[in-house]
Amino acid sequence: MSDSRELYLKQLTQFFWENELTPDVTQIELLAEYAQLLVERNDIVNLVSRKDTPNVIENHVFISALLSNYVPSRCTRFIDIGTGGGLPGIPLAIMRPELRGVVVDSIKKKIDSVQHFAETLLLNSVTPELARVEDDSFISRYQSSFDLVVSRATVPLILLVRYALPLITNKAHLIALKGGDLTEEFDKMFTKYSSHIKKSTIYELHYKPSNIKNIKEKKLVVLEISK
């Protein structure tokens, strides 16, 4: 086992243990392997900020894995819009192996990387797609297919809802990792799509040991939406 993967295993184990989360050993090992693959490929393709790679576990992998705790048990199929290097879709698929998902990005180098990650990790539940979710061709293939939409701060909430509506079943959950003040984003989203939003919740992502008071302003937006 490489030194970096062993470090990632220790970091993940600490984060999960201190926050009273209990994934099985195989899941933690897969998350550590994914982190190693992500950092290695990041030297070739810009998947996450290179300044951030020393914090890849906390800022990328653990946070994405944490999202799985907010996914309702009745969800079966997700789409990750603007997945980049597979975030949050790949950690979500590892944590919730019963889900099947499509991870989408419009940049070929990124999707090629995600394809490599999924194949290496044997994640048969994940389908990488090189596409723009708003394109008619993509909508025609995946119309009314998903009961869960996830994304990681890629676009404003108003756009996420717009992209999601043609792709969801009659009812779905939209979960987005965000940061900072979301007041303006929420105002714009509700002005346009209030009739489609049945419930909205913002969770402050407090976690031990490094963000107990959420000084990093990490938030999870959970919306219940309908067509």
Mean pLDDT across the chain, nearest whole number? 96
Cis omega (within 30 of 0) for bond into 88 = yes
Q: What is the mean pLDDT of residues 11-32?
A: 97
The domain 3-226 is classified under which CATH number: 3.40.50.150, 3.50.40.10, 1.10.10.10, 3.90.1640.10? 3.40.50.150
CA-CA distance, 110 to 163, in Å (whole number)?
20
Domain ranges of the chain: 3-226
pLDDT computed for residue 74 by the predictor? 95
Strand partners, 201: 222
Q: Is 118 helix (H, G, I), strand (E, B) or coil?
A: helix
Q: What is the mean pLDDT of residues 151-156?
A: 88
Q: What is the mean pLDDT of residues 32-36?
A: 97
Read off the pLDDT of residues 42-85 as tens digits, 9 standing for 90 and up: 999 999 888 888 899 999 999 999 999 999 999 999 999 999 99
pLDDT computed for residue 17 by the predictor? 97
Q: Is the pLDDT confidence value at 158 over 80?
A: yes
User: Among residues 223, 53, 93, 218, which one has the least CA distance to residue 152?
Assistant: 218
pLDDT computed for residue 154 by the predictor? 77
pLDDT computed for residue 1 by the predictor? 52
Read off the pLDDT of residues 199-211 as tens digits, 9 standing for 90 and up: 999 999 999 999 9
pTM comes to 0.95
